[in-house]
Amino acid sequence: MNFSNTPSFISHGPRPGLRLTLAVAASVALLVGDARLGLMGPAREALSVALYPLQWLVNAPISAAQHASEFFVDQARLKQENAALKTRELQLSAKLAELTTVKNELAELKAMHALRSQRAEKSVLAEVLYTGRDPFSYKLIIDKGQNAGLVEGQPVVGDSGLIGQVTRVQPLTAEVTLVINKGQMVPVMVERTGVRAILYGYGGGVELRYLPVHADLKAGDTLVTSGIDGVYPAGLPVSRVTHVERRAGAAFLSASSLPVDGVYRQRFVLALETGANRPPVTQPQP
Amino acid sequence: MDRPQELLKPVKRRFIYFTFALAILVELVPLPQDSMRWLPDFVGLLILYWVINLPSRVNVGTAFALGLIADVATAGLFGQHALAYSVTAYLALSRQRQLVMFNLGQQALAVLGLLLANQAIMVMVRMVTGAAFVGWGYFLPPLIGALLWPLLTKLLVLPYRRHSLL
C-alpha cells in the first residue's frame, strides 16, 4: 500500500499555507526579538543546554582520540624532551642567579643615589674592585683615583653609613681603609645623647675607648660622625653599640659595637668631598 | 516512475528523528573553518527529503522547529534558519505531488533550486539585520547538496531494503 502518496482524506491539522504563515510570523518575530531587542538570550540558552549532550557526544571521540595519541608518545621523544627541558632549566637557573645579582646591585645603586642627592657635598661614585689581599689590613680597592679627582683623606660611605677613608690614591684606583682597620679612628657621637667619643678600629671591628664609666651609653645606641674633625661630615652612621660593660674598678667602660651593616657588603661606595680647610690626614698605622 | 518501492513502506517516527539528530550532529562536529564553504546543509537536505517523501509526518512545523535548533547549533541569528526552512519546506510541500513523481536526477535539480532559495532567504535575513554580503561562495553548498541528493535517497532507503528481506 502506498502510504506516502495516498491522498489523505482525513484532516492532518492546519493546511500548509496556514502553517507557513504561522512559521514565518514566528520566525520574523524571533528575528526581530533577537537582532533588534536581544530578547532571545534565555530561549537560546535553554536550547543550547538541550543541545549540550549532542555536542558532548560529537566531541567525545575526538577528545578520546587526542588522549590516546598523547598516551602513546614514544619513549625516545619523551627522553629527548626531558633532556631539552633539563638544559633549559639549567640555563634559566643561571639566568635567575644573574638576575638576583643585578637586582641587588640595582637596589644598592638606588640607595647610593638617594644618599648622594641627600648630601650637600660633592661625591664620586665608585665600584669596589677587590678587597686588599693582606689579611691584617682591612682595605678596599675602588675603581676611581686621581682621574676622578679623589684625594687622600676623603670619607667613603656605603648605602647605610660610613665605611672608611681614602688613604692612597693611584692614577686610576684608590685604596680605602675601612673603619675596622687597626688604628683607624673616627670621631663619633652617640646619636641619642650627643656624648662624643672616638671610635677605634682594632682590626676586624670597632670599639669605643676612653669613655668614662658614668657615660650615658647603652646597647642599641647608634654612633654617628660628630663632624668636629673636619674630615668626616657630621651625621653619618658609623656603628651600633651591641654591648656595654661597666666594670667596677675600671676607669673607662668597655663597649663593643658593630660597624653599620657590614663594611664588606658593599659593591658600590661613595667618596665624599669635604671642603678644603681640612686638618692633615690621619696616617693609618701599617 | 522509478521511485524506489522501499519508500512506500511505513517509516518509523524514530527513524526520522534519528536522521535529524544525525544531521544536527554533523553541524556540531568541530570541523575546520574552511569546511563551512562547501559542506552542504544536511538539516535542510533532510527536511526536503522527508517533506517530499513523507509529507504527512514532516511539514512546515517540523522544519520550523528544526530551524530553531539549527540556529542555536550554528550560533546564527535566532529565527534565521527557522524562517528559511519553513519557507523551503512550504515550497516543497506545495509541489510535493509533482516532486515525488520525478526521478532522482530531476529531484536533484528541484532540490538545488529549493536549497538555493533556502540560502537566499538566509542571506536576505542577514543583510536585513545589517550583515555584509558574504560572497557568492555562500551558494556553493546547495550545489554540493543537490549532487549528494541521489546518494542521500539511496542511503535513507537502505534500512528499509534490508527490512524487506526479513
**Residue pLDDT, tens place only, A65-75:** 888 887 777 78
Query: Cα separation of A246 and A254, whole Å?
Result: 7
CA contacts within 13 A on the Cβ side of A54 = 20
- Looking at the domain assignment, is residue A10 inside a domain? no
What are the CA-CA distances from residue A28 to residues A20, A100, B37, B71 (Å)?
12, 66, 26, 13
Contacting residues for A68 by C-beta, under 8 A, at least 6 apart: none
User: How does B26-62 read in b/e, with b if 16+ C-beta sit within 10 Å?
Assistant: ebbeeeeeeeeeebbbbbbbbbbbbbbbbbebbbbbb
Name the more confident of A64 and A4.
A64
Residue A41 grid coordinates = 538570550
Place of cell 676622578: A148
Name the more confident of B73 and A166.
A166
pLDDT band of A2, cuts 50, 70, 90: very low
Query: Cα separation of B155 and B141, whole Å?
Result: 19
- Looking at the domain assignment, is residue A30 inside a domain? yes
Domain identity same for A58 and A143? no
Place of cell 693611584: A170
Query: Cα separation of B133 and B119, whole Å?
Result: 12
The domain ranges of chain B are 12-165
**Residue pLDDT, tens place only, A175-210:** 888 888 888 889 998 888 888 888 888 877 888 888
Among residues A46, A68, A90, the one where a domain terminates is A68
Domain identity same for A239 and A128? yes
Do A163 and A157 contact (CB within 8 A), yes or no?
yes
Residues of chain B neighbouring A31 (CB-CB closer than 8 A): 77-80, 83, 125, 129
Mean pLDDT in residue range A130-137? 74
Sign of the CA dihedral running B30, B36, B40, B42: positive
pLDDT, averaged across chain A: 81
Task: Output the DSSP codes for B45-63.
Answer: HHHHHHHHH-TTTS-HHHH
Q: Which domain holds residue A205?
A: 123-272
Domain identity same for A127 and A209? yes
Is A51 in contact with B64 (Cβ distance < 8 A)?
A: no
Domain identity same for A154 and A106? no
Q: Is the pLDDT of residue A286 over 70?
A: no
Domain CATH code at residue A264:
2.40.10.340
Which of A19, A44, A66 to mutate to test binding with chain B, by most B CBs within 10 Å of its CB?
A19
**Residue pLDDT, tens place only, A210-256:** 888 888 888 888 888 888 877 888 888 888 888 888 887 777 887 77
Count of domains observed in chain A: 3
Mean pLDDT in residue range A69-95? 87
Domain identity same for A150 and A184? yes
H helices of chain A, in order, are 16-31, 41-71, 75-118
Q: Is the pLDDT of residue A7 over 60?
A: no
- Looking at the domain assignment, is residue A106 inside a domain? yes
DSSP category for residue B8: G
Q: Is B85 exposed, middle or buried (0-12, 13-18, 19+ CB in 10 A)?
A: buried
User: Which of B63, B97, B129 is facing A31, going by the closest CB pair?
Assistant: B129
- Looking at the domain assignment, is residue A286 inside a domain? no
Q: Is A52 exposed, middle or buried (0-12, 13-18, 19+ CB in 10 A)?
A: exposed
- Looking at the domain assignment, is residue A149 inside a domain? yes
Report which of B48, B105, B26, B124 is spatially closest to residue A27, judged by C-alpha positions: B124
Do A176 and A162 contact (CB within 8 A), yes or no?
no
Is B79 in contact with A30 (Cβ distance < 8 A)?
A: yes
Residue A255 grid coordinates = 663597649
Residues of chain B neighbouring A49 (CB-CB closer than 8 A): none
Q: Is the pLDDT of residue A1 over 50?
A: no
Residues of chain A neighbouring B67 (CB-CB closer than 8 A): 27
- What integer pLDDT is reported at residue B163 of this predicted model? 54
Query: Cα separation of B47 and B38, whole Å?
Result: 19
Q: Give contacts of A 44-103 with B, CB under 8 A.
A: 44, 47-48, 51, 54-55, 57-59, 62
Q: Does B53 touch chain A (CB under 8 A)?
A: yes
Residue A157 grid coordinates = 660611605
Domain identity same for A112 and A251? no
Residue A26 grid coordinates = 514566528
Contacting residues for A253 by C-beta, under 8 A, at least 6 apart: A211, A212, A213, A215, A217, A244, A245, A246, A247
Do A176 and A166 contact (CB within 8 A), yes or no?
yes
Which of B86, B97, B99 to mutate to test binding with chain A, by most A CBs within 10 Å of its CB?
B86
- Looking at the domain assignment, is residue A40 inside a domain? yes
Domain identity same for A165 and A255? yes
Element housing B155 (H / E): helix B140-165
**Which regions of chain B are under pLDDT 50?**
1, 165-166
Query: Cα separation of A163 and A139, whole Å?
Result: 10
